[in-house]
Each structure stands twice: as structure tokens, then as C-alpha cells.
Amino acid sequence: MPTLKLNPRSLISPLGIARFFQILLSCTAFSLVAVHQDYYDAYGTWSMFTWCFCFVVSIVVVALELIGLAESLPLSWQDFTSAFSMLAALMIFTTSIVYPSVFIPNRCASERCSYEAAATAMSCFCFLAYAVEVGLTRAKEGEVSSFLASVPGLLKVFEAYVACLIFSLVDVTKSYRSYPGLQWCLAVYCICFIITLLIIILTIGRCLASLPIPLEKTLVGYNVLAVLLYVTAAIIWPIYSFRNTTRPSPCNPLSPACARWNSQLGVTFLSFFNLIAYIVDLVYSSKMAFVTTPA
């Protein structure tokens, strides 16, 4: 049975201070919104979930490191915290854009929106706190560290998160049912997401390194495949999505036609973002596998 040993130094280290601000700012953000009860519809629910999720997990991380239980868990703690900080930064960043763009114009049009503006500011500062943690835990050049703390590992989290955003927008459009080309694109998004998520899970579970395969070269091969698949998706999706359709004018964001157009455009941009991410991932992975020499 693991023994508990208090580690108060974890609270006063730069990483501990960053996590303190993460907890404080995320708690302040969702408290301001909850008091004013301004979190209706899917966007508000997403924002509240993001702040609460990051708040709870950050408290758990701080508590486990404080009582000295983190290293006794049957997982790679550094991989887990690196992946979570990257995921939280991405989630908070998205929320810091989505929440004010939806709720501040609606609220300010009829009354004061000080609560919404303050929550947005706290969310932006919270993103900076998580970004600081990502920077503090990221593996430096030539440093032996956990995989998810390296640039390719952080990119894996980014790629999986962007794929989730794509799925949410594809579900809005429903246009993939009309053309086989769009169904191919959806298959590309699903295949790459599943494999990337599996890599993340196996890494955190300390299982990836035990696989009977040359790991670094296998990751390079997967990245080559992902780049080729995303190239096809980035080309095919806009061709079929915007075939025989034009942007509604005027485009009311609340109208189904405009929402569908915006979602299709969002999937197009996110496809290119993920394509760029996989290309950068391929470059870094190739450098780690074929260029970097062991010390």
C-alpha cells in the first residue's frame, strides 16, 4: 500500500503557483456566470463544463502531489499532467472565444453585461495560467522526458481536440449524408482521431513503450499516413460542402441555413489546422527518430 508523504514544496514551486491561479481563475469564471445564470443553450453548457472540469481536475492534481500520492498511481503522472494542461489550455481558449461572442452581444444589447465581461476576462487569464504550465512542463531540446511533454506529444493532444471540434460541427451540418466524398472525410477524421487518442491513452497508461514495435519509426509512419489522409479531406470537404450553395445574405447566425454554412466553413478551417499540426508532428517525429543521436 502506498505511503502518504506531504510535499508542501509542490505548492510554492512555479508549477504549483501556476496551478493555484488555474484553480482560482476557473472557479471565479464559473461562479460569475452561475450567479447571473447566464449559461443557457449548448454554448453556455460547454463553457460551464469547461471551467468546472478544469477546476476539479486541477484540484485533484494539486491534492495528489501535495500528499505524495501522484507517483504511486499506475500511470505516467508526467504524461497525464502534460496532456491535461494542454487539453485544458485548448478548452479554456475555445471557451474564452465562444462565450463572449455568444453571450456578451445578446446581454449588452438589452442590459449591463459586467458579469459576462468579468467571466470572459477570468477565462482569458485562466488560459494564460494553463499555457504557462504547458511551457514549464514541456520537454526541452535533447532532454529525456515523457512523450506527451514533448512537442509531438503535445501536438497529439491538439490533434485529438481539433478532431472533437470537427465532429461537433459535422453533427450540425449533417451534410456528410449527401455525398460519398464527405463520408470519406468523416472517415478520415474518425480514423486519425481514434489512433491519436489510442496513442495518448497507451502513453499515459505506460503501455506504449512496451509494444513489440519500433515505436519512434511507427509514429513517423502513422504521421505520414495521417498527413496524406488529411490532405484528401482538406481538399474534398470544401469541394462537396460548398457545391451549389452560397452564403445566405443576410446571414443570421440563428437561422439554420446560416448555422449550417458557418459549420461547414468551420470544418474546412479546422481540417487545415489539423493538417498543419500533423505536418509539424511529422517533422518533429522524424527528427526524433532519424536525426537526434543519443547522448
89-93, 161-165, 248-252: least confidently modelled range: 248-252
CA angle, residues 200, 162, 106, in degrees to nearest 5: 135
Same domain (yes/no): 207, 267: yes
Per the confidence metrics, is the pTM higher than 0.85? yes
DSSP per position, the chain: -PPP---THHHHSHHHHHHHHHHHHHHHHHHHHHHHT---HHHHHHHHHHHHHHHHHHHHHHHHHHTT-GGGSSS-HHHHHHHHHHHHHHHHHHHHHHHHHHHHHHHHTTS--HHHHHHHHHHHHHHHHHHHHHHHHSPPTT----GGGSHHHHHHHHHHHHHHHHHHHHHHH-GGGT-HHHHHHHHHHHHHHHHHHHHHHHHHTT-GGGSSS-HHHHHHHHHHHHHHHHHHHHHHHHHHHTTT----SS--TTSHHHHHHHHHHHHHHHHHHHHHHHHHHHHHHHIIIIIPPP-
The last residue of one of the domains, among 102, 137, 172, is 137
Check whether 148 has a pLDDT greater than 60. Answer: yes
**Domain span including residue 36:** 1-137
Question: Could you give the CA distance from residue 197 to residue 207 in angstroms, rounded to a whole number?
Answer: 13
Q: Per-residue pLDDT averaged across 248-260, rounded?
A: 64
Q: Within 10 A of 40 (CB to CB), how many other CB atoms are there?
A: 11
- The answer to whether residues 195 and 228 belong to one domain is yes
User: Is residue 284 a contact partner of residue 159, using CB atoms and an 8 Å limit?
Assistant: no
List pLDDT tens digits, range 16-40. Answer: 999 999 999 999 999 988 887 767 7
Residue 196 pLDDT class (50, 70, 90 cuts): very high
Please indicate, yes or no, whether residues 197 and 130 belong to a single structural domain of this protein.
no
Q: What is the CA radius of gyration of the chain?
A: 21
Same domain, 85 and 146: no
Residues 17 and 30 in one domain: yes
Q: Which of 88, 112, 137 is the last residue of a domain?
A: 137
For position 184, what pLDDT does the model report?
A: 93
Q: Are residues 124 and 22 in the same domain?
A: yes
- Please, which residues have CB within 8 angstroms of residue 3's CB and are 6 or more apart in sequence? 68
Asked whether residue 127 falls in the same domain as residue 173, the answer is: no
Whether residue 276 is found in the same domain as residue 165: yes
Place of cell 457545391: 243
Q: Cell 450540425 identifies what position?
A: 172
Number of domains making up the chain? 2
* Same-domain pairing of 175 and 236: yes
CA angle 221, 222, 226 (to 5 degrees): 120
pLDDT of 294: 45
**What is the per-residue pLDDT for 172?**
65
- Final residue of a domain: which of 95, 120, 137? 137
Write the single-letter amino acid at 135.
G
Give percent of the chain above pLDDT 90. Answer: 47
Does residue 2 have a cis peptide bond before it, meaning omega lies within 30 degrees of 0? no
pLDDT digits (tens, 9 = 90+) for 41-63: 788 889 999 999 999 999 999 99
